[in-house]
Structure 1
Amino acid sequence: MSQVPETLHYAESHEWVQDNGDGTVTVGISDHAQESLGDVVFVELPEVGQALAKGDEFGVIESVKAASDLYAPISGEVVEVNEDLEDAPESVNESPYEDGWIMKVRIDGDIEGLMDADAYQASIETDA
């Protein structure tokens, strides 16, 4: 069973969002998503300074099974990317909520419209 931390918010496209309390959020993919992908071998990161609108494709994650697009769960500007993923993309599998984060974004607006942990858990159980 996938881990779904209660402190995070989730998009239907399986990205998680952590509010950093300073106008920025950290974004990654959920434990459920990394389990579905299998062994991650490459993560295409967005550019620092890139403007994102909610729903925009911002990168690609490749595994031994498939390549999947990554979608912005919120609107804002990319202020940092996890460059460690270039040499260690398996961090997404090993630690999706800590070491496997993908980007930090200075948000435009708020994170309303994302699912809480209970709603996300219910949505992935429906998909199963």
Structure 2
Amino acid sequence: MVTQSQKNSEHLDVPEQLSYSQDHVWVNTAETPAVLGVTEYAVEQLGDLVFLDLPETGTHVDAGDEVVELESSKAVEPLICPLAGTISYVNRSAADDPSVINSDPYGEGWILKLELDDDQPELLDADSYIRIIDAQ
């Protein structure tokens, strides 16, 4: 028997090489600067993205800061940065065409790159993130 909680993640892509926040942000710390974006689960919950309000490069952010505003056909939601650091790049292509986030959230749909203040950020692995999705 498949429970409702199993249905939340069974069709989603959750790449194992990435780390995740409870706020549905993925982080690739294997690259320098670290790359951040929203997860496929977040994209599904938001619906088609129509606008992305990016921060300025050079801006310092703390973990928990709302750094990007994501506007979709359903809602306006903030991207909450799970890490502290300085924004070194923003994805202007995604701002020009937010649908790239819907179609490729882990690739061309990245949102920003961050020079981290902490080399050992506290993030979730893929299995832990899947458990969070399934609990929602």
1:33 aligned onto 2:35:
no
Name the amino acid aligned to 1:97: Y
- Find 1:5's aligned residue among 8, 11, 15: 15
1:57-102, Cα deviation, whole Å (9 max, x unpaired)? 1011010000001111110000000000122100110000001100
Name the amino acid aligned to 2:47: G
Question: Within 5 A, what are the aligned runs for 1:1-128?
Answer: 1-22=11-32, 24-127=33-136
Distance change in 2, residues 1:81/1:115 (3 Å): same
SS of the aligned residue for 1:26 comes to: strand
Q: Identity, % of aligned pairs?
A: 39
Q: Where does the alignment leave 5 or more consecutive residues of structure 2 unmatched?
A: 1-10
1:5-57, Cα deviation, whole Å (9 max, x unpaired)? 000000011000001443x2000000000011010001111110000000011
What is the alpha-carbon distance in structure 1 between the residues aligned to residue 121 and residue 59 of structure 2? 22
What is the Cα-based RMSD across aligned positions, in Å?
1.0
What is the alpha-carbon distance in structure 2 between the residues aligned to residue 55 and residue 84 of structure 1? 25
What is the alpha-carbon distance in structure 1 between the residues aligned to residue 31 and residue 108 of structure 2? 19
Q: TM-score, normalised by structure 2?
A: 0.89
Q: TM-score, normalised by structure 1?
A: 0.95
Distance change in 2, residues 1:21/1:85 (3 Å): closer
Name the amino acid aligned to 1:55: G
What is the alpha-carbon distance in structure 2 between the residues aligned to residue 86 and residue 15 of structure 1? 17
What is the alpha-carbon distance in structure 2 between the residues aligned to residue 111 and residue 60 of structure 1? 26
Name the amino acid aligned to 1:13: D
Q: Where does the alignment leave 5 or more consecutive residues of structure 1 unmatched?
A: none
* Aligned pairs, number: 126
- List, as ranges, runs of 4+ consecutive aligned residues in structure 1 with deviation greater than 2 Å: none
C-alpha contact 1:74 1:111 (8 A) present in aligned 2: no
Deviates more, 1:95-104 or 1:109-118: 109-118
